[in-house]
Amino acid sequence: GRRRSAVMRAAWTVLACALVPGAEAFGVHAKWSSKVHASQVVDIRMPMPSAAPKTKTRTLVKPGLAQPAKPQQQQKTAKAVPKRKTESAYVPMWKVILLGDEEYEEDPVCGVIVEVLPDLGPDEARNKYHEAQATGDSVLTVVNQEHAEAYVSQFHRSTPMVFADAQPE
C-alpha cells in the first residue's frame, strides 16, 4: 500500500510536469520523489509529434508505353497594377505673379525675388519688378500648384514682405 501510493504519487508528478509547463518552479520535480527512487518512476509523458519527412515521387516512363497524366497546374491570376503617373501625364501649371506696390524699394525686392526664385537672375528680377510697378503685376514663373503656393508663402514671409499671388495658367 505505502510503496504503491509512492509510485502513484511519482507518476502523478511526472504527469503534472508533462502537462503543466514550468511545474518545476512550484516544487514538482519529475526525476524523483523523496520516497521513490528514479528507477521506479515510469515516464508516462506522450512523445511529441515530429515533422514527417517530405517524400519525393518520381515517375519512370518506359519508351513505347502511355505517358502518365500530369496534374493540372493552377492558372496564375494577374495582379492589378496601379496606373503610374509619368512626365507625360497632365499636371496643371500655375503662374506666380508679382504684384506691384507703391511702397516697394527696388533693391530689397529684387534681392528677395532672386533669393526665392534662384532661376531668375538679378537683371531679369529688375525687369519683372519694373513691369509689376508699371502694369500692376508681372508673371515671375510658371510651375505646378504646390510649388507656386510655396513660392507665394516664401514671398509673404520674406523681409521686406513682397506681395505675390498664384493663379492657374
∠ CA 42-44-47, nearest 5°, is 130
- With 0.85 as the threshold, say if the pTM is over it: no
Q: Is the dihedral of CA 82, 87, 90, 95 positive or negative?
A: positive
Question: d(Cα 47, Cα 24) in Å, to the nearest integer?
Answer: 19
pLDDT value of position 32: 46
Strand order in the sheet with 164-168: 137-144, 93-99, 164-168
Residue 23 in contact with residue 16, Cβ under 8 Å?
A: yes
Question: d(Cα 138, Cα 118) in Å, to the nearest integer?
Answer: 17
Q: Strand, helix or coil at 118?
A: coil
Compute φ and ψ for 138, nearest 5 degrees: -150, 135
pLDDT value of position 79: 75
pLDDT value of position 45: 52
Q: Kindly give the confidence (pLDDT) of every residue in the chain, 169 residues in length, as a single tens digit, with 9 standing for 90 and above.
A: 655 666 667 666 666 666 666 555 555 554 544 454 555 555 555 555 566 666 666 666 666 655 555 666 666 677 777 776 666 678 899 999 999 999 999 999 999 999 999 899 999 999 999 999 999 999 999 999 999 999 999 999 999 999 999 999 8
Measured in Å, how far apart are the chain's first and last C-alpha atoms?
103
- The three three-digit cell numbers of residue 47, written as one number: 512523445
pLDDT value of position 98: 97
Residue with cell 506691384: 100
pLDDT value of position 77: 73
